[in-house]
Amino acid sequence: MCSICGEISYDIPPRRSVIGLCSDTMRHRGPDQRGAVLAGAAALAHNRLSVMDPAGGVQPMSASWQGVTYTIVYNGEIYNMDELKPMLEAKGATFTTTCDTEVVLWTYILYKEQCPTMLNGIFAFAVWDGDTLFLARDRFGVKPLFYSLIGDTLLFASELKALLAHPEVSHVVDAEGLWQLLFLSPVTLPGSGIFRDIKEVLPAHAGTFSREGLKLCPYWKLTAERCGDTAAEAAAHVRELLTDAVTRQLGSDVPLCTFLSGGLDSSVVTAIAAAHTDRLATYSFEYEGNKKHFHRTLFQPQGDDMFAIRAARAMGTEHTVLTVPTEAVADCLMDAVDARDFPGQADIDSSLLWFCRQVKQKHTVALCGECADEIFGGYPWFYRPEMLYRDFFPWVHDARVRADLFRPEWARPDDGYAMMSDVYRQTLAACPLVDGEPEEDRVARVATWLSVNYFMASLLERKDRMSMASGVEVRVPYADHRILEYVFNVPWSIKFAGNTEKALLRNAMDGKLPDDILWRKKSPYPKTHNPAYEQLVTERLTAQLKRSNSALAELLSPEALKQLLGSKGGTWFGQLMGKPQLLAWLLQFDRWVEQYDVTFAV
């Protein structure tokens, strides 16, 4: 994995020094090598995390065909390289490396705009041919790609901070950006970069920038179809797809491991990986004091530690339990803001950042179990109609809790809520459906559509930013488009057989995992239950608000803050975000406004 950035300017030649400044902000994504090239109207830069062919995969990379030189900057991993390479060679491609960057480059050279449709993997890349820039992003947006149009100039980069480092990009956040932070964050609207001048290349989109401007369009869409497979046939097909997805992603020229929580999703990935590798390394994550302070809830019925160890023993892996100190969770909050470029998921972000830093000491590549819940129906809104049939996103339990903490004349919570509710209704209306299908299948499609386009997108963003900030590449086997294409159309009666969430996935892996893990009820990514953490963030927030330059102190409602500090709080987002996370989010918000020199135009 890497970072990419570039500037295309036909009238005023781009400056290598400026694009170098932008690229410098993302050195964490590619600590092993860096490169830049100035080619006519284009300046391209790259930071590399070496995973495949460390000696040969230096970027920017160029190749010539029929008198035209093509130059690529690429961030990602392609998992069907072995199938593509001989096909490309048969058409005249010549390879000088064993890395996938060269395969992507030649796929574009020979197939042009069809290139991204031929790739199985996670990617964001740009190819310059001396006149036109081609941009593409993977189907689920696992790899980030942002851009700014400043007059007739196009800027693009892997992270917001790189674009914000450009002297022509403003740091203004308008009302839409603010309302995303107050009502949806860490989720953001598809295509949004929070800042007014920055947009996001949508997942599954590609296109060109030329003298005629920027033209982006989808190259892949999820479609709704009838599926006549039996439960046994569906389980067999899912097992085949999962095995193929995981084994494809085991290729690496640097040490590889898996994240193993002891839950179903990560255990499936680890079991398949362990069967195809020698002495696989695994990691599980725990918090200081959780054994003593854990509180059972509907959504987090039990801790993970004993199940992770049980799974590791059953699979014969070299297992490590990483336990994060409570103070480190708080200390990493500000670094997590810098990694994500806006206040996100508080200590759920900061703890993952800490864990990835520890993993990096021995491993550079990891496989994880992210995305299974969104694809196979693991969240309560898939089977609790009262959560889905609301006028707002079902994972947001208290939509106004953050907005109502701020001065109403500034936050305008009524307007913000109305806008985001309208976005929710539009999203529901856009879901592909099959005429005449049973109501339970229609509801499941809508829940999947919402989850994949919003909730999963946010989790993938979190995983990318926190891991790449640590120089770790995390692969996501469930985010193989072939799996979603199939499972999206399997009847809900099969996916929820026996009133069990993710029954299809469980039945697909029957006999491959210990029964107590195979049928274990979902437990989300862990959070700290240590009361010392809430005390820490309360003290730090109180101190921060007393600073003379605290932007947050000027924007908050004193009475609303007083009520929050005196309350017991409750879960307001997803399954993990309670009062301590809200206090931590406020800390992050204040740091973000100051560190990123944010100006609000609301």
Cite the active site residues: 2
Residue 82 CB burial class (10 angstroms; 0-12, 13-18, ≥19): exposed
If you ran DSSP here, which 8-state letter would residue 184 be given?
Answer: I
Please give the torsion angle defined by the CA atoms of residues 172, 173, 176 and 180, in that order, rounded to the nearest 10 degrees: 160
Give SS3 for 143.
coil
User: Which residue has tokens 């005390």?
Assistant: 535
Output the CA torsion sign for 80, 86, 92, 94.
Answer: positive
Output Rg (C-alpha) for the chain, integer angstroms: 23
CB 481 within 8 A of CB 118: no
Task: State the first-to-last Cα distance of the chain, in angstroms, to the nearest integer.
Answer: 37
**What burial class does residue 506 get, using C-beta atoms within 10 Å of its C-beta: 0-12 exposed, 13-18 middle, 19+ buried?**
buried
**Contact by Cβ (8 Å): 246, 482:** no
Cα dihedral 402→404→408→410 (10° resolution): 0
User: In 10 A of CB 67, how many CB atoms?
Assistant: 5
Structure tokens at 408: 């109403």
Q: Contact 159/341 with Cβ under 8 angstroms?
A: yes
DSSP 298: S
**3-class SS of residue 407:** coil
Rounded to whole angstroms, the Cα distance separating 284 from 286 reads: 7
